[in-house]
Chains A and B, each alone.
Chain A
Amino acid sequence: MAVTYAAALKTSRMILVRDHINNQTTQGASTGTASAGKLVIGTSSLSGATGVLWTGTLSNPCGTVSGSVLTFTAPISATVTGAGTQTAALAALRTSADADIVTGLTVGTSGADVILTSTSLTNGQTVTFSGSPANTITHG
């Protein structure tokens, strides 16, 4: 049987996700020192520094929580750092110190967690998350 969390608890959990991404000193309370997290896109072998193709620095804080939804502040834009042209397959949300917070995100042109207009990324190419549509994490 599926578990149902109270609405207030969903909000608290999403604030915690945000605070972890921001490496907040007092996680859950959104207080203390914080730093800008990262959205990392990589190849199918993305793990740590391996397979990283693109790194976008998030805002600090990375977004706002309303209800059970964390909406990331946009735009998030950077250029591809991977060598040559490679195929993006996985993504992760990390702290500024590259600690994984959310991993295993799929990347594709449709039907994936992260949608790109093309998964073929070439060194120097700009990838932008404009915020339209909104970039969100929702508590299930």
Chain B
Amino acid sequence: MADKKPPPTPEPLPEIFGSFKIVLPADDMNKPKDDKPTEQPLRRD
């Protein structure tokens, strides 16, 4: 009786490495809100 070959062992998944360098924006609390509608460029026909 022929020996059964064991199923091949799946290769381990490579480890993923990470890092983070987050910069929180200094919120511009004194900046007035611009409520003006966006000006549309003049059309030249």
Q: Which A residues are within 8 Å of any B CB, using their own CB? A: 1-5, 17, 39, 91, 102, 105, 113-118, 121-122, 124-130, 132-140
Quick check: is B39 within 8 A (CB to CB) of the other chain?
Answer: no
Q: A2-B26, A128-B16, A136-B20 are in contact. List 8 more A-B contacts (CB 8 A).
A: A4-B26, A91-B20, A113-B22, A115-B20, A117-B18, A129-B19, A137-B23, A138-B21
CB < 8 Å neighbour of B22 from A116, A117, A137: A137
Number of interface residues of B (CB under 8 A): 19
Residues in B lying within 8 Å of A, measured CB to CB? 13-31
Bound complex: CA A121 to CA B18 (Å): 12
Cα distance, A137 to B26, chains bound together (Å): 12
Complex Cα distance A5/B24, Å? 13
A1, A4, A113, A116: the one contacting B17 at CB < 8 Å is: A116
Do A3 and B18 touch (CB < 8 A)?
Answer: no
Chain A residues, CB < 8 A from B26: 2-5, 139-140
Q: Complex Cα distance A36/B18, Å?
A: 19
Nearest CB of A to B12, in Å: 9
Output the least CB separation between A124 and chain B (Å).
Answer: 6
Q: Write 25 A-B pairs (CB below 8 A) sorted by A numbering.
A: A1-B30, A1-B31, A2-B28, A3-B31, A91-B20, A105-B20, A114-B19, A114-B20, A115-B19, A115-B21, A116-B16, A116-B17, A116-B18, A122-B13, A124-B13, A128-B18, A129-B20, A130-B17, A133-B19, A133-B21, A135-B19, A135-B20, A137-B23, A137-B24, A140-B24
